Structure 1
């Protein structure tokens, strides 16, 4: 992991967050943006930060971009610039390219030119907000094939103080508790580890559940007071 080198192009709020998170995980990060102000802001958080125009082939070659294990293109405002950048990266033989899209049309265009790893952060945030509005117990979720999902939820009131053995989550609802998390100051959460039958659900717990979405939703509804 520590030997990996990843470049992030586009240092708006999203790109900066990705670059800093990677750096904290021990990845050697090259941060790239046209705007020197963004470079100055992130310089102390990553291995290398460079102000250059990523739509210029010579500029990309100057940082040996093709030697990186992956390049994340997080340009948000200028789709033409994003397209030019990703096309150049493909021409230069970059091993792995992840690109940001703003909407399904941009996603389709990127996939058509050969970018298989496309992420839509605004859509993902929007879906999570909508789900939370519908059911305030849901913190976040990840949809998986065949209606399965991994979902973080606030512990329903009906199970607080009970042990996992008493709740019979798997037997009654066909869902599994992966772990519990404790909320701390500044929204920080600490993972409690692998649960056992003796694990007691507490009021401030966030439960990480795996199972069919319909089963998890039924479990929440059944145990709300």
Structure 2
């Protein structure tokens, strides 16, 4: 599996925790902040830390950030800088742009810009954000004791078109399937259907989200085998 590359912009307490968490898991992490002291605090622990104004599109392009797999905008108090930085990253075509928002008003503005993934620092620990970033198929999860979790997984390529009996999550991957969330287009409107308790002959579709119970290690193994 190729090494994933990420950039975290805004490395206060929350942003630095996300950057360090991902670096600790083996990811190549870039960090950007306009405050030099914050940059120095993480510079020894990540691939590259840069003092830069992230609202300057030309400066961002000079760092080839368009080659990143995902970007996190974790700027704290300056929402104008958050918006301008987000627009720059979207213009650069970075595949995933995840942005910190404080309250529903900011979230509405960011979603109107085209941001699909919003961070709520008061509700999401840095470790959870890192897990979401490093596993693109992982839509969300609930951490439980003893390394167990309930995870929502976007169906990986290797299981699409196969029935659950053939995939055999329990025997092959030590995972228990709880349910499947299926999205579909009805007259141009995207709707979602919950498949209660799926049967062994249920075929996994490309828009399906599998809700499973198991350990983090087993979830990651399932994703790696079927990517």
Alpha-carbon distance in structure 2 between the residues aligned to 1:10 and 1:88: 14
Which residue in 1 is equivalent to 2:111?
111
TM-score, normalising length from structure 2? 0.56
Pairing 1:45–2:45 present: yes
Alpha-carbon distance in structure 1 between the residues aligned to 2:47 and 2:97: 20
Pairing 1:63–2:63 present: yes
Stretch moving more, 87-96 or 44-53? 87-96
- 1:15–1:74: 8 Å Cα contact kept in structure 2? yes
Which residue in 2 is equivalent to 1:19?
19
Q: Describe the shift of the 1:109–1:151 C-alpha distance in structure 2 as closer, same or farther (beyond 3 A).
A: same
Deviation at 1:123, TM superposition (A): 4.4
Alpha-carbon distance in structure 2 between the residues aligned to 1:177 and 1:110: 32
Alpha-carbon distance in structure 2 between the residues aligned to 1:104 and 1:178: 33
Specify which structure has the bigger relative contact order, considering alpha-carbon pairs within 8 angstroms and separated by 6 or more residues.
2
Which residue in 2 is equivalent to 1:120?
120
Helix, strand or coil for the counterpart of 2:122? helix
TM-score, normalising length from structure 1? 0.56
Deviation at 1:152, TM superposition (A): 3.5
Q: Describe the shift of the 1:152–1:114 C-alpha distance in structure 2 as closer, same or farther (beyond 3 A).
A: same
Alpha-carbon distance in structure 1 between the residues aligned to 2:143 and 2:68: 33
Tell me which stretches of 4 or more aligned residues in structure 1 moved more than 3 Å.
Answer: 149-154, 176-179
Alpha-carbon distance in structure 2 between the residues aligned to 1:69 and 1:62: 17
Pairing 1:30–2:30 present: yes
Alpha-carbon distance in structure 2 between the residues aligned to 1:57 and 1:177: 43
Alpha-carbon distance in structure 2 between the residues aligned to 1:151 and 1:51: 34
- 1:2–1:27: 8 Å Cα contact kept in structure 2? no
- 1:29–1:48: 8 Å Cα contact kept in structure 2? yes
- 1:103–1:123: 8 Å Cα contact kept in structure 2? no
Alpha-carbon distance in structure 1 between the residues aligned to 2:44 and 2:110: 32
Alignment RMSD? 2.7
Q: Describe the shift of the 1:38–1:2 C-alpha distance in structure 2 as closer, same or farther (beyond 3 A).
A: farther
Which residue in 2 is equivalent to 1:167?
none
Q: Describe the shift of the 1:12–1:150 C-alpha distance in structure 2 as closer, same or farther (beyond 3 A).
A: closer
Q: Describe the shift of the 1:43–1:109 C-alpha distance in structure 2 as closer, same or farther (beyond 3 A).
A: same
Alignment of 1:152-163 (within 5 A): 152=144
Matched residues, number = 140
Larger Rg: 1
Gaps of 5+ in 2: 126-138, 147-211, 219-227
Alignment deviations for residues 26-84 of structure 1 (CA, whole Å, 9 cap, x no partner): 11000100000011110001000000000001110111111101010000110000000
